[in-house]
Amino acid sequence: MSEERDTTLGMFPIGMQALNQHYFANMQLHYLIESTNTGLWERNIDSNEAWWSPKFCELLGYKYGELDTSYIYFLDEIVHPDDRTLVYDSFQNHLKKKTEYKVEFRMRTKELGYRWFESSGKAWPDEKGKLTRVIGAVTDIDQKKQTELNLKKNEFLLNETNKIANVGGWELDVVNMELTWSKEIFEIHELPFDTKPDLDSAISFYEAGYRDTLSAAVSDAIKFCKPFDLELKFRTAKNNVIWVRNKGVPIIDGNGECIILRGIFQNIDNIKLKELELQKSLDLLGDHNRRLQNFAHIVSHNLRSHSGNLQFMVNIFDENISSAEKEEVFGNIRSISESLANTIDHLNEIVKIQTEISKELKPVAFESTFKNIQTALDNNIRKTRAIICADFSSCPTINYVPAYLESIFLNLLTNSLKYRHPDRYPQIICETYFDKEHTWLTFEDNGIGIDLDKYGDKVFGMYKTFHQNANAKGIGLFITKNQIESLGGSIHIASTVNVGTKFTIKLT
């Protein structure tokens, strides 16, 4: 480097040979710069002439001197078309607004297609103060840029996924019990982002009954390094009740101690409600199927016993018997035909319950319905001197099929009177009540009762009779059960022999 040129860069004589000569003149500096993987460039602002260092050419896969290095060629042929405006504008801004010239863009290499580079530079004035040249450096940042782009893509995907899946992440530092939440968790809680979460208040968002489950799971995870995955009912800060999934995995240190608990937290309300709905339909379907199968069984069994008898009588008719005997046999055939018709009537009644689609639910008053039944059975009630206490005050009406409610009352009351205790007058207590979800009806008597250990599962069966009672037909409770179940309810019996019977019915 000569004495007179040893001044600031801007004082170099204009002309592309300056940096060029300078660069090669000091070989030590030249080697140093060439080995840093940084390319140097210089550009004349007025003439668009440019010079690129050998390293610059090498970064693009060219030999020194192989490329037309003018600024026009650079913009048109080397810079990626999508980045042209960016490169041009930042250059102009640097010149006019003195903003920093530092830009990341893609350049076309000889063999590897476009790659990412970072270029920075500075404009220098000549002795008159006019900006005449720009000198700068360029580095290959392709790998860094690709990683960064991938990261951005992944971050975007993750954010989108989290948003769509309604899921967030949390971390509990077990040592100082510090809890951190991702953005989505605040959103699910419907809390402002600046809320400071802690374990106790986090657990307080869960509904009673689920709080203990989660507390126990967290404590087990910390104590025994046991992961958990729970579906829980949850109440947000804005009082919305939703289902959430909370999954926690302990991070274990070298001593086998849980130091951090990490997990995901997800709003699964939609899925869970659908699942519950599905389960409900499944139960209903299963119920229906069971009743249908039961019905098929009943049909086959009850019709078989009649057809068997009929066949039996015909066989005897074919034997060598007297005309008086034939008369007798025919009498039996007649009564078989009557019971067959009866059975078919009963089966029809059941089919009607099972298939009646137009089960129109109407508000029905318990009181008046029960009164009607009492009036219908008035003779019987008087004869047996039954005392009937009915109290429907805590739940006076229900949305039900009126005919079913009448039938239920009729069957229960008839039963209680029929199976009254011979040593005392019948006492019947009938009540309704409503708990959070269901309407219940209880019906209690002091009759002869039934040994449920012996007959438990058969009480509600068709043509099941348990007492030697001439007018026991074994159809009433069967129909009652079918009507109740067809509307989604259930019936339960408790009984003690010689003490009485109590039916507990979930109506809806």
Partner 1 sequence: MTLTAPAKTVCVIDDDKIYIYGLKKLISIKQLSPNLMEFYNGKEAIDFLTDPENLDTLPDIIFLDINMPVMDGWGFMESFVKIKPQLGKKITIYMVSSSINDEDIQRAKTISDITDYVIKPISPDTLVELFRLAA
Instruction: Give the nearer residue to partner 1 in terms of CB position, either 262 or 418.
Output: 418
Residue 326 found at the interface with partner 1 (CB under 8 A): no
Both tokens of 481, joined, read 């059960």
342 near partner 1, rule: CB under 8 A: no
177: tokens are 């019990």
Rounded CA separation 268/274 (Å): 10
Give the shortest CB-468-to-partner 1 separation in angstroms.
6
Selected binder of partner 1 within 130, 163, 304, 385 (CB under 8 A): 304
Smallest distance, partner 1 to C-beta of residue 331, A: 10
Structure tokens at 16: 């592309």
How many residues at the interface with partner 1, by CB under 8 A?
29
The Cα 429–Cα 145 span in angstroms is 83
Nearer to partner 1, 149 or 321 (CB): 321
Binding partner 1 (rule: CB under 8 A), the pick from 320, 355, 358, 375 is: 320
Q: Is 305 in the site for partner 1 (CB under 8 A)?
A: yes
In Å, the largest CA–CA distance within the chain is 154
| Alpha-carbon dihedral sign for residues 93, 97, 101, 103 | negative
Residue 321 touches partner 1, criterion: CB under 8 A? yes
Alpha helices, DSSP H only, in 421-486? 452-455, 476-486
The answer to whether 300 contacts partner 1 (rule: CB under 8 A) is yes
Whole-Å CA distances, 73 to 21, 48, 84, 299, 485: 23, 10, 12, 95, 86
Nearer to partner 1 (CB atom), residue 219 or residue 311? 311
- Site membership for partner 1, residue 332 (CB under 8 A): yes
Q: Answer yes or no: are the C-beta atoms of 377 and 426 closer than 8 Å.
A: no
Q: Name the segment binding partner 1 (CB under 8 A); options: 69-77, 216-224, 325-333, 390-398.
A: 325-333
CA pair distance 228, 416, nearest whole angstrom:
53
CB of 307 to partner 1, least distance (A): 8
- Interface residues for partner 1 in 454-483 (CB under 8 A)? 454, 463-468, 472
User: Does 448 contact partner 1 by CB under 8 A?
Assistant: no
6 binds partner 1 (CB under 8 A): no
Which of residues 309, 354, 384, 414 is near partner 1 by CB under 8 A? 309
Q: x-or-dash pattern for partner 1, window 382-401, by CB under 8 A?
A: --------------------
Interface with partner 1, residue 315, by CB under 8 A: yes
Distance CA 94, CA 113 (A): 28
Stretch that binds partner 1, among 79-87, 231-239, 318-326, 342-350 (CB under 8 A): 318-326
Q: Give 141 or 303: the residue with its C-beta nearer to partner 1.
A: 303
Asked if 188 is part of the footprint of partner 1 (rule: CB under 8 A), the reply reads no
Pairwise CA distance, residues 219 & 226, whole Å: 9
Distance CA 182, CA 227 (A): 20
Task: Out of 293, 335, 490, 496, point to the residue binding partner 1 (CB under 8 A).
Answer: 335
Q: Which residues contact 285 (CB under 8 A, 6 or more apart)?
A: none
Q: Which of 75, 86, 271, 316 binds partner 1 (CB under 8 A)?
A: 316
Cβ closest to partner 1, residue 282 vs residue 341: 341
Contact between 295 and partner 1 per CB under 8 A: no
Binding mask 251-290 for partner 1 (x = CB under 8 A): ----------------------------------------
Residue written as tokens 């419907």?
190
Kindly state the smallest distance separating residue 318's Cβ from partner 1, in Å. Answer: 9
Give me the residues paired with residue 173 across strands: 178, 260
Position 57 contacts partner 1 (CB under 8 A): no
Smallest gap from residue 316 Cβ to partner 1 (A) = 5
- Cβ 496 to partner 1, closest distance in Å? 18
Binder among 84, 144, 301, 492 for partner 1 (CB under 8 A):
301
Phi-psi region of 38 (alpha: psi -120 to 50; beta: other; left: phi over 0): beta
238 touches partner 1 (CB under 8 A)? no
Q: What angle do CA 78, 81, 87 make, to 5 degrees?
A: 75
Amino acid at 141: I
Site for partner 1 contains 313 (CB under 8 A): yes
**Cα gap 206→230, rounded to integer Å:** 12
* Span of 10-18, 275-283, 321-329, 370-378 interacting with partner 1 by CB under 8 A: 321-329
For residue 117, give the nearest of 65, 52, 175, 72 by alpha carbon. Answer: 52
293 makes contact with partner 1 (CB under 8 A): no
| Residue-wise DSSP of 192-219 | -TT----HHHHHTTBPTTTHHHHHHHHH
- Cβ atoms of residues 266 and 165 within 8 Å: yes
Please identify, using beta-carbon distances, which residue of 4 and 319 lies nearer to partner 1: 319
- Residue 315, classified by CB atoms within 10 Å of its CB into exposed (0-12), middle (13-18) or buried (19+), is exposed
Q: How far is the C-alpha of 451 from the C-alpha of 466, rounded, in Å?
A: 9
User: Looking only at residues 145 through 174 of this chain, which bind partner 1 when binding is defined by CB under 8 A?
Assistant: none
Residue type at 73? Y
The residue ranges that bind partner 1 (CB under 8 A) are 297, 300-301, 304-305, 308-309, 311-313, 315-316, 319-321, 325, 328-329, 332, 335-336, 454, 463-468, 472
